[in-house]
Amino acid sequence: MECLWCMEEIIVEISWINLFQVERQVALCSRCNEQLEKITGARCKHCSRQSTQDICPDCKWWKSQEKGDPLEKNFSIFHYNDFMQAIIAKWKYRGDYVLGEIFEQELFQACNEQFKFLMKEAVVVPIPLSKERSKERCFNQAAMLAGFIPMEKRNILSRIHGEKQSKKTRRERISATNPFFMSESLNKPVLLVDDIYTTGTTLRHAASLLKANGSHKVYALTLVRG
């Protein structure tokens, strides 16, 4: 078994603690795994940003908008450190699909810990790619992440092709028009899944559309807080 990232052989040391878990596949060697940085300590309860305030200024701003914040809460698992940036670049932009498997356990676990109350009734909706982008990449990283969550999945959102989010400034992102559309309604709470939460605009576009089409509450689970 080789590390998905550095390709070094993974030596699984068997101890009493993991004796019954050896069957579980490890994606990264311990040296690579150590470089993933989980978000710990005080964070904004709303968007997972590291913050000593319960609700960070950005989230307060969203709440102060006319229609309020369409997103109930976002939970992110990791910091967007250099190592994570390198993995995401290779996974998403180079298209090294299998790298997504690195996050399987963590996503499963985060969902269990944070969104257990949703398990019965909610559906998981991955943030889609536009047709053009999806043709280019041959897979949607958000859909791959959604696949790790043990809940019903629905691909009910579509996306209009536009400029890359990463090329826009913060202001441009926030003021951009909603790139999503959907053709059916959904009377259930939704857990949106995406790889990165940066300004949260994309998720909120999706959330407000879902709410306009029947969903009462929309939550988000993202791999990384950018």
Q: Is 35 exposed, middle or buried (0-12, 13-18, 19+ CB in 10 A)?
A: middle
Measure the CA angle with vertex 193, ends 7 and 141; round to 5°. Answer: 40
The helix/strand/coil state of 210 is helix
Q: How far apart are CA 214 and CA 76, in angstroms?
A: 25
Partner interacting with residue 47 (select from Zn ion, other proteins, none; CB below 5-8 Å by kind): Zn ion
State which residue, 116 or 135, has the beta carbon closest to other proteins: 135
Residue 96 within binding range of other proteins, rule CB under 8 A? yes
Q: Does 73 bind Zn ion (CB under 5 A)?
A: no
Give SS3 for 196. Answer: strand
CB of 101 to Zn ion, least distance (A): 19
The torsion defined by the Cα of 37, 42, 45 and 46, in degrees rounded to 10, comes to -60
Per-residue contact string for residues 24-63; x = within reach of Zn ion by CB under 5 A: --------------------x-xx-x------x--x----
Residue matched to tokens 């550095």: 6
161 binds other proteins (CB under 8 A): no
The item of Zn ion, other proteins, none sharing an interface with residue 56, based on CB under 5 to 8 Å by kind, is: Zn ion
Residue 7 or 11 with smaller CB distance to other proteins: 7
How long a stretch of residues is the chain?
Answer: 226
71 binds Zn ion (CB under 5 A): no
> Which residues of this chain interact with other proteins, rule CB under 8 A?
2, 7, 82, 90, 94-98, 134-135, 137-140
